[in-house]
Structure 1
């Protein structure tokens, strides 16, 4: 599989190698050891959710406070969605930056968001289905929202038809700058420390997964 860092630092886009024959197609969506070797990130799934969406439904921009944090691995298993990743880590070199991916099942593209990101998408088809795999369970009171139409962010939602925001909480969410003022956003330094603790724990329990030739595997080493 091809794994590349996105325009948002520490987030990754994953493109699998698709094997096709007369029966159809097959691909690996996630391989733990390869993912960690390339990204230096550690991802241990504990919960999987699905959302089914009408055309032009917009879900986002959603994040989770740190602690507990919540990394996620997102794919589209039916239909198509325009997926947006937003860096909301205060102090990050890419704070307020975003990257966009077209997710559809035929290509199998996935996106990985570490702790400290906000995520959203707009459904491009009726009955789209999105899979979210998380490394922490849902904990009431820890999610937060950012206004998906914040003019300072200028997120590239499709303009051919007006997106439909289903949840009132999204329409009422603060702008990114206001969320920073309110102190609800994670700090970049705390996220880096969290990534490092995860990786140290992983390597202490799985020495065979050490990554030779990758001295900058820790997110904190990018400073």
Structure 2
């Protein structure tokens, strides 16, 4: 049994992830800034800790991770909203989580990112979208350069469709959609399979069962 810190513990992917971790015999620790989510998250089987991603420093992150065996970074300010929150949540939230995991002696780290963030952006994209893509791209680079046993999951368009349990999971895939529940299942499978350490992949719905896809997850080629 492991205790797994989930940063962004009330996010849409995280709420699908908590019951999967419980079913696998783990204890999810949902880290959130709003204590109003306590009852909802406890009903999903998670323990709940308070952590304001934007205002907390690395020491506070490390304290929140105490007693955990792995970290999942599933937080995000979304692709709309304010430009500055792409930095404070998507980038700095991730980089503080990475530094705190290293400080706390936690090796395993799985990050939920976004598809296509390494691709060049056109001149006509909005400032918010550019900030979002750059934040996700830079956060992934920091994680890959860390000392951690990392996995980067880059899903395509997220939907609330029912999970299929089948995905297309490769270094690069054609743009498409994937249910949030299947993204959570991929994260859970990565935590259960050390063959996903050092893997970075894009993810959409597809033909392959999730566990089989994760077992052959592509290593990052640089």
Given the two structures, how large is their TM-score scaled by the length of structure 1?
A: 0.29
Higher alpha-carbon Rg: 1
Q: Which has the higher strand share?
A: 1
Q: Which has the higher helix share?
A: 2
